[in-house]
Amino acid sequence: MPQEENNERMQGLLRALQDGALTIDNVLLKCSEWTAETIDAYQFKPLPIKPREVLSYEEIDPMERKMLGESYYGAQPAVRNYYNLVRQIMVENNALYKWLKECRELLEKAGQAEAVAQIEAKLSECKQEMLIQITEEGGENA
């Protein structure tokens, strides 16, 4: 769906909410239906490839890493930048996962089995990606 159509559709929902034609629950259900319709547009973001500096950093003993001062990170900005980007991506992916779970619940309550199946398939895909990302990062952050 082109961005212009998305904007018009969202504006229509907001106007209906403001005019009292829809309740917030109705709007959330409509957004959940819309999510199911456009489920292929929802993609988990992959983690970036670790730069050479991060690979070197990860070779340092974890206890020694805790002792590294700001001068190390100032001289190696790629390390901090990488881990900041990883955190940002994980937060965005987690938000997507939570939104899809909320959509599934709303669609289940509305008895929309086909839409629930679409959301379920994407949730399953997201779970696999989350596990891979958690395993890849192993909790080692700057």
Residue 8 lies in a domain: yes
In tens, the pLDDT along 10-32 reads: 999 999 999 999 999 999 999 99
What per-residue confidence (pLDDT) applies to 138?
61
User: Residue 142's pLDDT band (boundaries 50, 70, 90)?
Assistant: very low
Instruction: Write the pLDDT tens digit of every residue in 41-56.
Output: 999 999 999 999 999 9
Q: 117 lies in a domain? A: yes
**Rounded distance between C-alpha atoms, residue 112 and residue 126, angstroms:** 21
Residue 142 falls inside a structural domain: no
User: What is the C-alpha separation between 142 and 44, in angstroms, rounded?
Assistant: 23
What is the rounded average pLDDT for all residues in the chain?
90
Tokens of 114: 């086909």
Query: Judging by beta carbons within 10 Å of its beta carbon (0-12, 13-18, 19+), is residue 95 exposed, middle or buried?
Result: exposed
Q: Is the dihedral of CA 52, 77, 95, 38 positive or negative?
A: negative
**pLDDT tens per residue, range 62-85:** 999 888 888 888 899 999 999 999
Write out the residue range of the structural domain in which residue 113 sits: 3-137
- Structurally, the chain folds into a number of domains equal to 1
- At 81-135, the pLDDT tens digits run 999 999 999 999 999 999 999 999 999 999 999 999 999 999 999 888 888 888 8
**pTM of the model as a whole:** 0.82
Is the separation of the CB atoms in 54 and 84 below 8 Å?
A: no
Given a contact cutoff of 8 angstroms between Cβ atoms, the answer to whether 82 and 54 are in contact is: yes
